[in-house]
Amino acid sequence: MFTAKRVGDPKDYIKGETGDWEVIIGLEVHAQVASKSKLFSGSSTAYGSEPNSQVSLVDAGMPGMLPVVNEFCVEQAVKTGLGLNAKINLFSRFDRKNYFYVDLPQGYQISQFEFPVVGEGEIEILPIDADGNVGDEVTVGIERLHLEQDAGKSVHDLSPDETYVDLNRCGVALMEIVSKPDMRSPEEASAYVEKLRGIVRALGTCDGDMEKGNLRADVNVSVRKPGGELGTRCEIKNVNSMRFIRQAINYEARRHIEIIEAGGTIDQETRLFDSVKGETRTMRSKEDAHDYRYFPDPDLLPLKLEQSFVDRIKSELPEMPDARKTRFMTEYGLPEYDARILTADATKADFYEAVAKGRDAKIASNWTMVELFGALNKADLELDDSPVSADMLGGLLDRIADDTISGKIAKEVFERMFNGEGTADEIIEAQGLKQVTDMGAIETMVQDVIDANQEQAAAAKENPKLIGFFVGQVMKASQGKANPQAVNKVLREKLGL
């Protein structure tokens, strides 16, 4: 039974004509199991294949075809449950969820209703507002995680009067992770999904690719007066980005408030989010469990797991994001912000550790987060597609550390690396970018600049800030290649500062 005892922060209340309103949010996240074959058949799950090219007789719902449970998918579900600090149920059962749709050839979906493989758990989230301010930590309860098969895909835009059906996804294993209604703002909801994605990616149980639909959320929204009785909820189906989750919740909550304050009532229904218009629209009236006429699947025996099976999986769990964040702060001395950003995703964390190995941890963090991530965002690339590898970025930091190049020149070298011109060493050599460290040469350049600016040199003793002018002139004369620390040292000596 869902309850919503937690009262949200007043800053998250929505203002209405009759006063403040509190939004109540629960999510059902569907995470595609990282398995090469489907939940009950040996068909491939590869993305992007020709329509209907990965459909077995089981997937197509042919008479007499019997499902066989994919043990690997069960293992992935248990692993995810452990990552969510949840109870693993040694007894679980598959049920038939009966409904009829063109892309569901069996006429039912095999799911888990009364006895899911994973029970209650919880995770901690840190909501972040639009200005980047981090809120207080929130505990979000997990109601359950159950396994089910995905439906196919209906394609409506290939013909004005026909619907095409692609059954490649039909039978793909999904983990449906159902939260308790513990979230009270759009930011908390997106932080929750972000945290879930980080967990399944760290575990390797789902790739978390929302663009491909491998991780998507059904968002349940209702409103109430702060701390009051729960209102009627509406479910927004298949939202596939953090931004859309926030937009959908904002729109839906305000829609509820406007209807209630105008004297109307909220119909329990399933809605779709239109990302172009930024609004939700009715899809169908919301079904309850009895509408699906659940009953145990007669073709599948209940799952009875041995405790040793669960213990083995638990012993093999990788380092989880929260533990890795703590380690980054203690082992590398990173501030909380850096550690949080770098450990939100296993790929980012692995990349950073490769860059930081044997180098200054904070400098490695700055170059990874600011220069590399910034360039990737600008180019609309994922880290997996980065033209600058961890070894290449580490090599660039080595050239800064040994004074081969200055930090300023390093940014030019990085830009060339990102554009595919080679490694740092190759670019430095080809472009003649080695830093001038010869003290004799630097002294000559400094003296030339002082001789050319006698008035400023005379005024420097009274106004030491003028040293910045001289540093700029020397760096200009050296085309940015003079070692800035050496230039400062020589200038102070010659100007008597």
Q: How far apart are the first and last CA of the chain?
A: 75
Give all strands of the β-sheet with 295-296 in edge-to-edge order. Answer: 108-111, 95-98, 295-296
User: How confident is residue 1, by pLDDT bands cut at 50, 70 and 90?
Assistant: very low
Phi, psi at 276, each rounded to 5°: -75, -45
- The span from the CA of 55 to the CA of 171, in Å, is 9
β-partners of residue 22 are: 224
Phi, psi at 60, each rounded to 5°: -80, -5
What letters, b where the CB count within 10 A reaches 16 and e where it falls short, cover 264-282? eebeebebbbeeeeeebee
- The span from the CA of 217 to the CA of 210, in Å, is 9
Sign of the dihedral through C-alpha 75, 76, 79, 84: negative
pLDDT tens, position by position, 148-171:
999 999 888 888 889 999 999 999
pLDDT tens, position by position, 406-441:
888 899 999 999 999 999 999 988 887 776 555 676
- The span from the CA of 257 to the CA of 395, in Å, is 56
pLDDT tens, position by position, 279-302:
999 987 766 767 889 999 999 999
pLDDT at site 482 = 73
Nearest CA to 322 out of 196, 413, 232 is that of: 196
Query: Vertex 384, ends 383 and 388: CA angle to 5°?
Result: 65
pLDDT at site 212 = 87
- The span from the CA of 168 to the CA of 49, in Å, is 8
- The span from the CA of 293 to the CA of 8, in Å, is 36
* Eight-class DSSP state of 74: H
- The span from the CA of 147 to the CA of 149, in Å, is 7
Percent of the chain with pLDDT over 90: 73
Give the pTM: 0.84
Nearest CA to 167 out of 249, 86, 313, 57 is that of: 57
Strand runs labelled E in 14-63: 14-16, 19-32
Contacts 24+ apart (CB under 8 A), 405-410: 405/433, 405/434, 405/435, 406/435, 406/480, 406/481, 406/483, 406/484, 408/480, 409/433, 409/435, 409/480, 409/481
* Region of 352 on the Ramachandran plot (φ > 0 left; ψ -120 to 50 alpha; else beta): alpha
Query: Hunting for tokens 């002082």 — which residue is that?
Result: 450
Nearest CA to 23 out of 33, 31, 15 is that of: 15
- Give the CA count within 13 Å in the CB-facing half-sphere of 298: 2
User: How confident is residue 405, by pLDDT bands cut at 50, 70 and 90?
Assistant: confident
- The span from the CA of 287 to the CA of 414, in Å, is 55
User: How confident is residue 371, by pLDDT bands cut at 50, 70 and 90?
Assistant: very high
Tokens of residue 159, six digits: 């013909």
pLDDT at site 456 = 74
pLDDT at site 157 = 85
pLDDT at 444 over 80: no
Q: In a 10 Å sphere around its CB, with 0-12 CB exposed, 13-18 middle and 19+ buried, how is residue 189 labelled?
A: buried
Nearest CA to 364 out of 323, 405, 337, 401 is that of: 401
- Are β-strands 269-274 and 234-239 bridged in parallel, bridged antiparallel, or unpaired? parallel
Sign of the dihedral through C-alpha 227, 233, 234, 240: positive
- For residue 309, the SS3 value is helix
Q: What is the residue-wise DSSP string for 237-295?
A: EEE-SHHHHHHHHHHHHHHHHHHHHTT--PPPEEEEEETTTTEEEEEEEPPPGGGGT-E
pLDDT tens, position by position, 55-83:
999 999 999 999 999 999 999 999 999 99
Q: How many residues does the chain have?
A: 497
User: Average pLDDT of 241-258?
Assistant: 96
Rg (CA), the chain: 29
- The span from the CA of 480 to the CA of 434, in Å, is 10
* Eight-class DSSP state of 11: G
